[in-house]
Structures are given as structure tokens and as C-alpha cells.
Structure 1
């Protein structure tokens, strides 16, 4: 059964809330990785074990926002950007073994393609449309990463609309349900981009460091690499709390 991917309407979310959300990409052999965005399945297992020992359970973002709106704590958001095909065979079994869910941000404009936007490689295959359906059927939330993985702040209004509105329509065709979440490629957004995401019907948007933007359409996240073990994860958790301490208590819970 597919996960319930509906999130509370943006206006009902606590705008000052800053939940702790972790950002993953590919789960595979991290040896050849000039960008530091790949973790092995064993390291993912170790990281989720560390979260569990701290009383945290990983979950998708729509579920995280619903839980926080209801006052529930003890959750941390898990996101996987780009929709790499290795999610099904490498990440999914680890997540299920830990009782976790996640949000996978996919590129419906590149089904079965590869990460050609990364000039240094290596080339990694992306989920096909059938793979996207497999992810949803396993109980994971599927969100949009745009159509083609472009810096949205550089696009014309028409191009931006294709990336935001068009990707939502494409995912509705693939999954027979509309996604709640959008993830800004390269983690960057501005007011025009956020407004387009809102107009497309998304209820939340994930960035990395959203700068002056605030609210559910500019959720900050923490990048996770293969090098991150207990001490480094703890340091990143503390940094998140300090950076967003004005958001109120319990930002990571």
C-alpha cells in the first residue's frame, strides 16, 4: 500500500518549526564519489541505528509534518534526492528493517535516465516509472525534484512552471495521486521559485540552507555523507539546533 503523502495545508503548519531533516542521495559504493553524496547500505544501517539509540525514528516529510502538527516528537525526516535506482535494492531494505519510512524526491522528466547534470560523474541510473511506483507501493513518500534537475532560480517563468506544475502533473499520472512535497534542485530557491511551488499545489518544499525564506515551503535540511558516524551526526544535530534555535524548542524532535 502506498504511503499517505498528504501533508497539512501550508497555512496550518507551525511556520517557526524547524524539524531536523536528513538529506541522502545515492546508496551504493561510495568509493568513486567526487561530490560526497553517496553512502553504503552498511553505513546507512549504522546511521539509522544511531538515530534509534537517540530515541529518533526516521520518517517521510509529509508524515513528519503531520506528527509535529499533532504535537508528536521523536521523529527525524529522511529524504533521498534525485531518485536513484539503487534506492530500491540498497536503501529500501535497510529502511524497512529499521521500521523507517522516507521521502524520495524523483525526476519524472528523466525516467530510467542518469545523473547527467553531474559533470564529474560517475553515471548512476535513475528510477524508471515502474521503479517510482515500486517505491510508493513499499510505503515511501514520493515527492518532486522538478522535471530535469535544473537550478530553478535561473529559469524563465515558463520553464519554471514546467518544472513545478509539470512535475506534479507527471507524478500524478505515474502514481494516480498528487505529491505533497517539492525538493529544490541544488538546494537553492528564491521567492519566485517558492511562489511557483506553492501555486503548483505543493504543501511543503525542502531546501538545504533556505536563507531568508521561511515556513513550510523552505524547510532546511542536513546533508549526510558516508563519513558521518555518531560523533559527526551529533555535531550536525547540534549545529541544526543552534542555527534554527529561534524556531522554538524541540526543533529536531
Structure 2
């Protein structure tokens, strides 16, 4: 595939005491990370905007911002911080768990998820809503029928909630092989996000760079440099 701009992968932005899976970034650190981007003339955008710009040949200065799982702190912490910089982002939500909790993380603190009203509000602020499947299950472990449900039903559910097309998908846990990529494409998504660069990388398995609470300016710079070197090969 052609070189991709940097795409950052977040999950939750909130105050925390316990974070065993390192998915939470504190609000202060998140604000610092956004400032780091802005001070370098970079603009955080949704995947929808990033891919549109790429198709038009103009991604210079753009960084994709994505948020997996659809935590409610996307409403309370993320969107206000993004709007202060005139940034946008894509949030990938689990369609059958709207308004509930992260039940897939059995050993992690409970985190509330966005509800339907929250999704609509975020979309009104210019954020993109994508699917993170119906139930946050590893797709590679599912039958054909289960896989289709996770991909296609989640798309239909979210489109019904939002009243607009849902174009993006994100693989739970980043698990995606040829079968899963083909199913997501067949379900009608125009793109999908994975995590790692692999033999399946392409428009329906876009690699991203993880960002956590430990990522201050020096670590962000290192990740930016690593991304540029990786795609220069």
C-alpha cells in the first residue's frame, strides 16, 4: 500500500487510579499531546478526513486521531479538548453495548460507554463515528455467521442511530487476517483500522500507532520518527 500519514490510536482519556491494560491517558497528558501536535503545525483529523485528503493528494500536516471502544469520556474529556485546537477524530464504538460498560475487560475497572445520545452529539461536533463490531469479540475466533453479524449488523445499528452512513470499522484487539478483512470490505465499509503493519495492511487494515499516558514529547517524537522510517522502506 502507499505510505500512510501517522494515525494515533487512543482508547480512554480520564483520571485513573488503576489501568492494567494501559488504555487510559490522563486529561493533562492528553492536553500536552495535542499541544505537541499543534506546535509542530500538525492537525489532528478523523479517518474520514484523512482518507479524503489522501485521495486528493494532500495529507501533509495531517495526523489521524482514533479512539477505540467508545468510552463516555470521549464526550466529557476528548471532544472539548479537540475542539479547543479545531481538531477532529474518529471514535469506534461497540454497537450492542451503547450506554453500558467495557464488559470484555473482565479484570479491568468498569468504564461507562457512550450511549446513543452521546454518539449523535459527538457527530454534531464534527467527529466521525465508526464501528468497533457488535460485541467486541476477536473476529478470528468466530464462525462465518458470527463474523458477519459483528461486521454487518453493527454497521446497520449505528447507521440507524446516527441517520447517516458509517464508513469505518476497527478490528477488536487488532485481530484481522484475510477472512476478516474480506468480510469487513464485503459489509460495505470503505476502510478499516487494525493496529500493526502486516501482510494484510491496506485500506481495510490500516496500521496505527498506540499512544498511552507515558507518551510525553520525547516519546511522541520517537514514534513520529519511527513511523516515517517504517513507511520510507
Task: Say whether residues 1:93 and 2:93 are aligned partners.
Answer: no
> Alignment partner of 1:233: what SS?
helix
CA distance in 1, matches of 2:150, 2:121: 23
1:1-51 deviations in Å (ceiling 9; x for gaps) = xxxxxxxxxxxxxx3132210011111013310111101122111101101
Task: Say whether residues 1:44 and 2:36 are aligned partners.
Answer: no
In structure 1, list runs of 5 or more residues that go unmatched: 1-14, 247-253
Aligned with 2:19 (options 20, 33, 37) = 33
Task: Give the TM-score taking structure 1 as reference length.
Answer: 0.89
The answer for the alignment partner of 1:12 in structure 2 is: none
The answer for the alignment partner of 1:208 in structure 2 is: 195
Contact 1:81 1:105 in 2 (8 A): yes
Aligned with 2:2 (options 11, 16, 19) = 16
RMSD between aligned residues: 1.0
CA distance in 1, matches of 2:25, 2:16: 6
> Alignment partner of 1:196: what SS?
helix
The answer for the alignment partner of 1:194 in structure 2 is: 181
CA distance in 1, matches of 2:27, 2:2: 34
| Worse overlay, 179-188 or 27-36 | 27-36
1:165-207 deviations in Å (ceiling 9; x for gaps) = 1011001110111211100000120110000100011011101
The answer for the alignment partner of 1:65 in structure 2 is: 51
| Worse overlay, 156-165 or 127-136 | 127-136
Task: Say whether residues 1:75 and 2:62 are aligned partners.
Answer: yes
Equivalent runs, 1:71-150 vs 2, <5 Å: 71-72=57-58, 73-150=60-137
Pair 210,193 (structure 1): closer, same or farther in 2 beyond 3 Å: farther
1:37-87 deviations in Å (ceiling 9; x for gaps) = 101122111101101112210000010011122122110000000000111
CA distance in 2, matches of 1:17, 1:163: 29
CA distance in 2, matches of 1:159, 1:166: 10
Aligned with 1:154 (options 129, 135, 141) = 141
Deviation (angstroms), 1:98 = 0.8
Contact 1:188 1:210 in 2 (8 A): no
Return the structure number with greater relative CO, CA threshold 8 A, min gap 6.
1
The answer for the alignment partner of 1:53 in structure 2 is: 39
CA distance in 1, matches of 2:178, 2:16: 35
Aligned residues: 232
CA distance in 1, matches of 2:95, 2:206: 22
